[in-house]
Amino acid sequence: MQKFSFFCLICFFFFSVAPSHAFDLLNFLFPPVQIEDETERRSPDPALAPEVPSNNTYSNTLEDNETITCNGNASADNSWSKEDHKTEVTKVDSNGNSYTETQYQDYTAENLDGEVDLKNLSNEYYRNFQSFFARGSIKCTEEKAKNSFLSLEMNGSSASLRSLPTNQLYYYRSLFLTEAALSLNNSDQFDTVTQDYQIAWDCQSVCTEMSQDKSKLDSACRPIYLSEIIFGLQNEAIYYSSPTSDPEFFPTDLLTPILNHYSGSCGTYGCYSDRSNGKTFVPLTKGNYLLFYKQLNYVPKGNVNSRVTVTNYNGYDIASDTPINPVDTVDNRTLPNAAAAYSPHSTSLSFVNPSLQEPLENTDMCVDSSVSPLTSRDKPKPKNLETFVKGIIKFVTGGEDYSKNVSIPINTTYDKKVVDNVKVSEQAFSNMIPSNVLEEKKLLEETFSSKTPANDEPNVVDPGYRSDLLYQEMRSLLRPSSW
C-alpha cells in the first residue's frame, strides 16, 4: 500500500502540468534514441579546469575514489584454406590426351587478428535516464519556456523539474551553479561533474537558442555560458545553502572566479574573450538571466569515461602454442549522456533517499574484479578496438586447411562510485513499481550489469542493465495508457 501511495504521488507530481491523452502515445511521448551506424559518440570539449591524470586511470570524479575493474576476453583468429594455395596444371597422359591436375602447395600461416566493436556496446540505461531526467534546453522567451515545461516530447522539460518541490529545486540549482563556477578555477584544478557549458547565443543583445543552425548565425553572435547566470544575478538573493535555508547572495568565493572570468582579466582564471575566440562580452538584461535560471535543470548532461585495456600480442610461440610479447593498450570509452549524473559530486540522485531503501540482491558488477586507485581524465573513445597476434608462423603441408583462435584479455575499469550510485537509482525505481508487477515480470531476478542486448556473452560490462529494466517499467506506468 505504501508503494502504491508513493507511486500515485510521483504520478501527481509528474502529470500535474501535463496534458491528458486518451490513447497510447508510447513512441510520441518517449521516442527511442536513433543511433546511426556512422555516428561517433564523443566526450564534451575539454574542461577549463584540466583534469589530473595518474596511474593511467581516469573519470569525471575526484582521484581519491576507487575503480572497479572487470576482466573478460575477446579473440583473435584466422583461417587458412588449401583452396587459396592450389594451382591447376595441364598434363598429357600416355595416349597423348591432355588433362588438368590440381596441385596444392605448402604455405605459412601467420598473423591472427580480431576486432571488438565499441560503437554500440553500452546498454541503454544512461541514454534513457538522459531522456527522462537530464533533458531540457534553454528557451529565449517566456512563452517557449512555458510550452517546453508543458511538453512531454523530447524537446520538453525533464521529469526532474516537475517532480521536486520548488525549494529543493532552488537548492539543487545552487549546487549546480556552484560546480559551474568551480570549473572556472584553473589555479586549484578542482575536478567537477558540472562543466561550464554553453546554454544559448547572444546575437547583438538578442537571445538565440542553441537549436538554431550555427551556420545561419551572425558572426557577431557570442556564446552564453552557464556561469553567466551567476554574473547576471550576482545582486539577486537566489542562492540556497540548504533546502530549508533563506535565500542569500552568491558567496564571495563563488563570485571570485566568475567576476575574474567576465571582467576581462586574463590572469589565473582566463577570461571570456580568450575562451570565446575574441568575442566581446556585453551583459544581457536581468530579465534574460532570470528566465534562464527558471529553466535550469540541475541534472548534469556531461559524459563520463570508462577505460578499456586490451592486451595485444606481438608474437607467438609454436612450441608452447601460446601468444608472447604482450603489450597493453588503453582505450578511452565515453559513456553516453547522463552518465555524469552518477558521479560522486552529482546531485541528480537527491530525489531518492538511499537510507530508506532496502538494497537489492545480486548487485555484482562482475565476478572477477579488482579495486585500484582512481584519478581523472576526459578523452573521446575510438570506434573500435583491434586485437591481434603477430607472427604465428606455422608451416602447413599442402592440401590441408588450418585455423587458429587465441583468447585476448580485456579489462574494463569503472568508477566505483558511479556503480554504487546506479545501485541507489535502481532501488528507487523498484520502490515506484507495485510489488505484483515486480513479481510477475521477475524484474528483481535480472542481473545488475550487462553489456549490450545484442550480445549475451559480452566482454565489456556496463552497469545499469537491471536498473534500465526497472526504469522502463516505472516510466510505462506513468503513461496515460497505463491509468
pLDDT of the residue at 352:
59
pLDDT of the residue at 292:
95
Burial of 358 (0-12, 13-18, 19+ CB in 10 A): exposed
CB-based contacts of 206, cutoff 8 Å, min separation 6: none
CB-based contacts of 71, cutoff 8 Å, min separation 6: 366, 368, 369, 370, 409, 410, 411
Q: CB of 407 within 8 A of CB of 108?
A: no
pLDDT of the residue at 124:
74
CB atoms within 10 A of CB 198: 15
Distance between CA 76 and CA 80 in Å, rounded?
Answer: 14
Burial of 205 (0-12, 13-18, 19+ CB in 10 A): exposed
Residue 298 backbone phi and psi in degrees, to 5:
-85, -5
CB atoms within 10 A of CB 423: 21
Distance between CA 149 and CA 171 in Å, rounded?
Answer: 20
Give me the amino acid identity at 38: E
> Angle CA(251)–CA(417)–CA(330) in degrees, nearest 5?
110
pLDDT of the residue at 368:
65
Q: CB of 369 within 8 A of CB of 163?
A: no
Residue with cell 531518492: 352
Query: Own/partner pairs for 445-449, CB < 8 Å, 24+ apart?
Result: 445/362, 447/362, 448/360, 448/362, 448/363, 448/364, 448/365, 448/423, 449/364, 449/365, 449/366
pLDDT of the residue at 54:
37
* Cell numbers placing 303: 559524459
pLDDT of the residue at 465:
85
CB atoms within 10 A of CB 330: 13
The CA-based dihedral angle spanning residues 96, 102, 103, 105, taken in that order and rounded to the nearest 10 degrees: 160
From first to last of its 483 residues, the chain has per-residue pLDDT tens of 444 444 444 444 444 434 333 334 444 444 433 333 343 433 344 444 434 333 444 444 445 457 788 887 778 889 999 999 889 988 888 888 898 989 999 998 888 887 766 544 566 777 778 778 878 889 999 999 999 888 877 778 888 888 778 888 898 899 889 888 887 776 665 556 677 888 999 998 899 888 877 777 778 899 999 999 999 999 999 999 988 899 999 999 889 888 888 886 666 556 888 888 888 888 999 999 999 999 998 887 765 666 777 788 888 888 888 889 998 887 766 666 667 677 665 665 655 555 566 778 888 887 666 665 544 333 334 446 677 788 888 889 988 999 998 888 877 777 777 788 888 888 888 888 888 999 999 999 888 886 544 444 556 677 888 888 998 898 888 776 665
pLDDT of the residue at 190:
59
Strands 66-80 and 402-415: antiparallel
The CA-based dihedral angle spanning residues 159, 163, 166, 170, taken in that order and rounded to the nearest 10 degrees: -50
Distance between CA 178 and CA 227 in Å, rounded?
Answer: 9
pLDDT of the residue at 237:
94
Nearest to 310 by CA among 411, 211, 238: 411
> Angle CA(223)–CA(225)–CA(226) in degrees, nearest 5?
160
